[in-house]
Structure 1
């Protein structure tokens, strides 16, 4: 039997890494730019520490995760924003699990309302924010993508962020990331990350629970996004922390 030869990237190798439920659970737990130790990732994936270490080693060796040392401890993180982008896209293609408890149903709803996608806001709140920036002329939609309008953005400087202060480096200033819950773009890239970070600094958003992706608006945040971005009061009320 002849061996099939396919030129180009070895997609099957990455698919095999993510095809294991334990590895998928651990890498998904890091999707909001958290740094977590192997013991915490083992707990989240429901596997033993030795099994988790083996899985994490494969993810690191293949460039999906990276490690950081802090004293005697090793922490794991997503290696590159491209990994987060790929995972969000896969989440849009993957069948959604039916919740098996009231707790899981509540958490799915919280993730759909507002969450972190690597380092930027996603969910209905993230999509509404991107829509508002388009309405204000700071972003434009063209050919199925989001683009920044530099002059308009810097003139308005939302939350004090300009194109120069966003810390873009080689990273694109703005990029549309198709949201798996709403199936429309939320804002990624350096500007999306800077807005998310600034909203945390202002106390406008907070994590609903420690080490989880779901976020909520504070009362100050709900008022702030209505005033600055013109977001709908009904939507912001639904995302306010309770």
Structure 2
């Protein structure tokens, strides 16, 4: 995705992370409000572990997920505060430009 100089790069990463049906479906896996391990997300999605890990990393890079490691397990959950912050900034930008 081409970077736009007027938009915060973090917002661009956020939008880029959401621009995938697979990543959106993974994000919906958290609708129950519980954090999930990579293994749980593999099972829920039916995708391979490397595919899920790649998409989770994109969601983390976009400020959508938080990662936590406990022993050998890696847990993910939505970063609700940062998501809301990004949406607020995007709304502000859109009100000014469009």
Work out whether the TM-score is over 0.5.
yes
Partner of 1:13: 13
Cα distance in 1 for partners of 2:56, 2:71 equals: 19
Partner of 1:25: 25
Partner of 1:133: none
Partner of 1:65: 65
Which structure shows the higher helix fraction?
2
Cα distance in 1 for partners of 2:72, 2:16 equals: 31
**Aligned-residue RMSD, C-alpha:** 2.8
After superposition, what is the alpha-carbon deviation per residue over 1:12-49, rounded to whole angstroms, capped at 9, x for unaligned? Answer: 43222111111111112124431101122123233111
TM-score (norm 1): 0.30
Residues 23 and 45, structure 1, Cα contact 8 Å, conserved in 2: no
After superposition, what is the alpha-carbon deviation per residue over 1:28-79, rounded to whole angstroms, capped at 9, x for unaligned? Answer: 2124431101122123233111100111112223321111222221111112
TM-score (norm 2): 0.66
Greater relative CO (CA pairs within 8 A, separation 6+) = 2
Structure 1 counterpart SS, 2:76: strand
Structure 2, unaligned runs of 5 or more: 88-98
Partner of 2:78: 78
Equivalent residue pairs, number: 85
In structure 2, relative to structure 1, the CA distance for the partners of 1:14 and 1:61 (3 Å cut) is: closer
After superposition, what is the alpha-carbon deviation per residue over 1:88-142, rounded to whole angstroms, capped at 9, x for unaligned? Answer: xxxxxxxxxxxxxxxxxxxxxxxxxxxxxxxxxxxxxxxxxxxxxxxxxxxxxxx
Cα distance in 2 for partners of 1:26, 1:54 equals: 11
